[in-house]
Amino acid sequence: MDILIRSLVIFLFLWLVVRVGGKREVAQLTAFDMILLITVGDLVSQGIVQEDYSLTTAVIAVATFAVAGLALGSLAQRFPGFRPWLAGRARIVVRDGEPLLDVLRGERMTIQDVHEAARRQGIRRLSDIELCVLETDGSFSFFTDEAHDEGGRGAQGDHRLT
């Protein structure tokens, strides 16, 4: 029973760390971050099993993490009001070609992050973006202004992304 409780405590702690870390942070893990994450996993396992390296202990710890993850997913599905708290919510970061700097700051992002993602989508000018949404998984969704797509210039002018 001790392993079950420790596993739940560690699961909740790691879930909180990922939520506080931010959407883009999780989506942009580098090789070093992955190595660090694996190392942290090993350190966490030591805290869970307290030097009990039996197969039973490992199965209980992994099963506890799996069940806790399923329980959170079920909670989000059954009670939609919890969904934003558990999984986050999509945020609009650019509207009508104008970056929402306070939202970007709140998500611990810079306008350069948006520029980079826009260039990957073939968007040359910030003014071409009608709406840019930071999704819950850390990816961007871009909706471009139809008039700009057809070669027209909007009131925002020609702001090339650099």
Judged by average pLDDT, the poorest of 48-52, 68-72, 147-151 is: 147-151
Q: What are 125's two structure tokens?
A: 């000018």
pLDDT of residue 75: 85
CATH code of the domain containing 139: 3.30.240.20
Residue type, 32: F
Q: Are residues 77 and 108 in the same domain?
A: no
The predicted-structure confidence for 105-126, as pLDDT tens digits, reads as follows 888 888 998 999 999 999 998 8
pLDDT at 83: 81
pLDDT of residue 102: 93
Q: Which of 40, 57, 87 represents a domain boundary (last residue)? A: 87
Angle at 133 between CA 131 and CA 138, to 5 degrees: 155
List, for residues 10-19, the tens digit of each pLDDT value. 777 777 766 6
> Which pLDDT value is given to residue 108?
84
Tokens of 12: 């909740």
Give me the pLDDT at residue 18, please.
67
Note whether 77 and 98 are same-domain residues. Answer: no
For residue 38, CA distances in Å to 17, 28, 32, 101 come to 15, 16, 10, 34
Higher pLDDT, 2 or 42: 2
Report the alpha-carbon distance of residue 42 to residue 47 in Å, rounded.
9
Three-state secondary structure string covering 113-146: HHHHHHHHCCCCEHHHEEEEEECCCCCEEEEECH
21 & 73 share domain? yes
In a domain, 49, yes or no: yes
Task: Say if 158 falls within a structural domain.
Answer: no
The span from the CA of 45 to the CA of 119, in Å, is 41
Q: What is the pLDDT of residue 8?
A: 82
pLDDT digits (tens, 9 = 90+) for 55-86: 677 677 777 777 887 788 788 889 988 887 77
Sheet holding 91-95, edge to edge: 98-99, 91-95, 129-134, 140-144
